């Protein structure tokens, strides 16, 4: 994994001020060194500049970027962030066209595939990626992003110049780019956050290339093209055929994503998703005479304070112990204390350049930093719930019929803390309703589907395009902040395409949540793991953590220049801080309840202050 950045203007001559723009490219790379601490490089041409930092995983000696190849005397340059899982197949296709790569680097294979097969080659890539290719002769820059947005790519356009970067912080290295929030940004921050509308960078003028999309920049302007999108179609396979194909697609995705020239590891929570990924990896490594390393996460003294709820019914440790024994894994139990979790709230904003999932994010940031001490590549069980229907909102009528994003069915916990005049200006309910209506219009309902079936299809689509994207953002930023590459086999395109159209009577047969996944994984896991009731990522229940957050937020709000003050109803926030917190009533997803609201406000205060964000309403 790596970071990429750069700029392009069809009418510019950057080389006339070479040292100035080379310095900008270097700064863009330095701002993202955490994503690629092993190597860095820049390239400046009259119309385009490219920057790259590298985390060496494939072809450690020959994968340096920017990489340049020629065709017919013309030069083509690439900067690339990601991993390609069908690399062998792509190399075979190049050989069949008498194109012989000079290295084993996936970067070269991508560039040569572009030169050999043209821009539509992108449909053949299987992997996680964001990259830029510059055609120097025709002065064309093309940006690409993977099907589900596992890898990030932000951009902005200033006076005809497009500036792009893996992370927003890289954009701020270019002159005259500053942070501002307009009405839409505030609505998105407070009404949808920590989710984002696909393509939005929240800050005014900043966009993120949508998943499954390319952006071509030329003398004719800017043209966006969607090369991949989820589609609805009738499922033709029998139940038995569905289980067999699902098993193949899952195990095949896991095996392909083990590709690496450095050792891999897995996150292991004792749930069916991470346990299945770990079991397949362990078996493959065993064939090679190796032993799988696994990591699990918890919070100091959580056994004393854990409170079971419908969202989080059990602790992980007993199930982790069972899986460690089953896998014969080299396992590491990692714990995070409350003060560390609170202290890293700001660091998680540094990683995202935006407020994020509060302590759900800061704790994972800490854990990834610990894992990165020994590993560069980790496979996770992330995204299985979005793909196979594991969340409560797939199963309960109140969520199915809520007519909005089911992980945020009620805006009142957010609105009650905001300044009343600001709320009137924002009209948050209308903004969220418009975002919801626009999103569900993107997916087709099949003839003959009942209202309930249609709602489930819409929720499935929303989960993949919104909720899953939030978790993929979280996984990328928290892992790459420490130079750790996280891979997500359950976000494999072939797997998601197939499972999306499996009918609900199969997905939840006999009332079993994620039934198709569990049945497809039979014999690979013990039944106690296979049919364990879902329990999400752990969080702390220690009352000291809540007290610590409350004290810190009160201190921030007592400062006259606190950037939150114009946005909040201070009396309402004071009442909220003095009342007992409900740990089992989330205002976002399953984990973000009362204490996480305090943590999220602390993150928002830090974000506004760090980036000197201007409010434009």
Which residue numbers are catalytic?
Answer: 2
Contact 161, 9 (CB under 8 A): yes
Distance in angstroms (rounded) separating the CA atoms of residues 3 and 496: 26
Rg, C-alpha atoms of the chain: 24
Distance in angstroms (rounded) separating the CA atoms of residues 464 and 45: 39
98: which residues sit within 8 A by CB, 6+ positions away?
A: none
The Cα-based distances of 137 to 43, 45, 134, 141, 315 in angstroms read 15, 11, 9, 11, 59
Q: What are the backbone angles phi and psi of residue 582, rounded to the nearest 5°? A: -90, 115
Q: What are the backbone angles phi and psi of residue 476, rounded to the nearest 5°? A: -65, -50
Q: Which residue has the tokens 């199915």?
A: 400
107: which residues sit within 8 A by CB, 6+ positions away?
A: 63, 65, 67, 78, 80
Element (H, E) at 44: strand 39-44
Distance in angstroms (rounded) separating the CA atoms of residues 400 and 394: 7
Number of neighbouring beta carbons within 10 Å of residue 322:
17
Distance in angstroms (rounded) separating the CA atoms of residues 551 and 544: 11
Distance of CA 369 to the CA centre of its chain: 17
Contact 38, 55 (CB under 8 A): yes
- State the virtual CA torsion across 422, 423, 427, 429 in degrees, nearest 10: 150
Pairing verdict, β 264-267 and 293-299? parallel
Q: Write out the E strands in 452-514.
A: 485-487
Distance in angstroms (rounded) separating the CA atoms of residues 459 and 88: 36
83: which residues sit within 8 A by CB, 6+ positions away?
A: 1, 57, 58, 106, 127, 128, 129, 257, 259, 485, 487
DSSP letter assigned to residue 270: S
Distance in angstroms (rounded) separating the CA atoms of residues 246 and 13: 53
Pairing verdict, β 48-54 and 39-44? antiparallel
Contact 44, 108 (CB under 8 A): no
Q: How far apart are the two ends of the chain, measured CA to CA in Å?
A: 38
Ordered DSSP codes for 545-606: HHHHHHHHHHHHHTSTT-TTTTTB-HHHHHHHHHSPP-TTS-SBTTTB-HHHHHHHHHHHHH
Token reading at 40? 């860095």
Q: Closest Cα to residue 332, out of 267, 378, 283? A: 267
Q: Give SS3 for 306.
A: coil
Distance of CA 391 to the CA centre of its chain: 18
The Cα-based distances of 446 to 87, 241, 436, 454, 490 in angstroms read 35, 22, 20, 8, 25
């Amino acid at each position: 994994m790596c970071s990429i950045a750069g700029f392009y203007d069809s009418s510019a001559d950057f080389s006339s001020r070479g040292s100035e723009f080379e310095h900008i490219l270097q700064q863009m790379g330095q701002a993202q060194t955490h994503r690629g601490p092993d190597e860095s490089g820049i390239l400046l041409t009259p119309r385009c500049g490219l920057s790259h930092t590298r985390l060496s995983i494939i072809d450690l000696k020959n994968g340096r970027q920017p990489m340049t190849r020629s065709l017919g005397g013309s030069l083509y340059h690439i900067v690339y962030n990601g991993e390609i899982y069908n690399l062998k197949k792509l190399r075979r296709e190049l050989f069949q066209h008498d194109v012989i790569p000079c290295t084993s680097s996936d970067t070269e294979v991508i560039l040569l595939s572009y030169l050999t097969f043209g821009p539509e080659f992108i449909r053949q890539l299987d992997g996680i990626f964001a990259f830029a290719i510059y055609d120097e002769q025709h002065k064309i820059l093309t940006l690409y992003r993977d099907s589900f947005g596992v890898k990030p790519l932000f951009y902005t356009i200033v006076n005809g110049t497009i500036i792009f970067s893996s992370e927003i912080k890289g954009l701020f290295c270019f002159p005259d780019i500053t942070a501002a929030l307009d009405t839409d940004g505030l609505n998105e921050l407070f009404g949808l956050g920590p989710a984002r509308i696909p393509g939005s960078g929240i800050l005014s003028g900043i966009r993120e290339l949508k998943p499954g999309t390319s952006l071509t920049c030329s003398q004719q302007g800017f043209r966006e093209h969607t090369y991949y999108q989820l589609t609805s179609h009738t499922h033709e396979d029998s139940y038995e055929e569905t289980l067999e194909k699902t098993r193949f697609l899952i195990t095949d995705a896991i095996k392909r994503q083990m590709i690496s020239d450095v050792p891999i590891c897995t996150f292991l929570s004792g749930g069916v998703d991470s346990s299945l990924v770990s079991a397949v990896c362990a078996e493959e490594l065993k064939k090679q005479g190796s032993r799988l390393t696994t990591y699990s996460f918890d919070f100091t003294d959580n056994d004393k304070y854990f409170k079971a709820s419908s969202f989080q019914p059990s602790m992980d440790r007993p199930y982790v112990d069972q899986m460690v024994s089953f896998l014969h894994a080299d396992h590491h139990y990692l714990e995070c204390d409350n003060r560390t979790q609170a202290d890293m709230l700001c660091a998680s904003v540094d990683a995202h350049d935006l407020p994020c999932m509060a302590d759900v994010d800061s704790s994972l940031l800490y854990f990834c930093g610990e894992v990165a001490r020994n590993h560069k590549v980790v496979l996770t069980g992330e995204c299985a719930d979005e793909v196979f229907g594991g969340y409560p909102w797939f199963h309960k009528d109140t969520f199915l019929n809520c007519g909005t994003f089911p992980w945020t069915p009620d805006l009142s916990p957010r609105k009650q803390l905001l300044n009343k005049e600001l709320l009137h200006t924002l009209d948050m309910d209308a903004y969220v309703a418009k975002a919801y209506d626009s999103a569900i219009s993107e997916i087709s309902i099949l003839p003959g589907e009942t209202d309930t079936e249609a709602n489930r299809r819409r929720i499935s689509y929303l989960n993949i395009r919104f909720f899953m994207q939030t978790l993929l953002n979280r996984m990328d930023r928290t892992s790459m902040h420490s130079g750790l590459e996280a891979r997500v086999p359950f976000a494999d395109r072939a797997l998601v395409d197939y499972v999306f159209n499996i009918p609900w009577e199969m997905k939840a047969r006999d009332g079993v949540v994620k039934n198709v996944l569990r049945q497809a994984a039979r014999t690979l896991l013990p039944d106690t793991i296979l049919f364990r009731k879902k329990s999400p990522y752990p969080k702390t229940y220690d009352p000291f953590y809540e007290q610590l957050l409350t004290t810190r937020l009160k201190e921030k709000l007592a400062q006259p220049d606190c950037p939150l003050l114009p946005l909040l109803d201070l009396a309402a926030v004071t009442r909220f801080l003095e009342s007992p917190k409900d740990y089992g009533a989330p205002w976002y997803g399953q984990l973000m309840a009362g204490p996480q609201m305090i943590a999220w406000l602390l993150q928002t205060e830090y974000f506004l202050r760090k980036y000197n964000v201007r409010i434009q309403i």
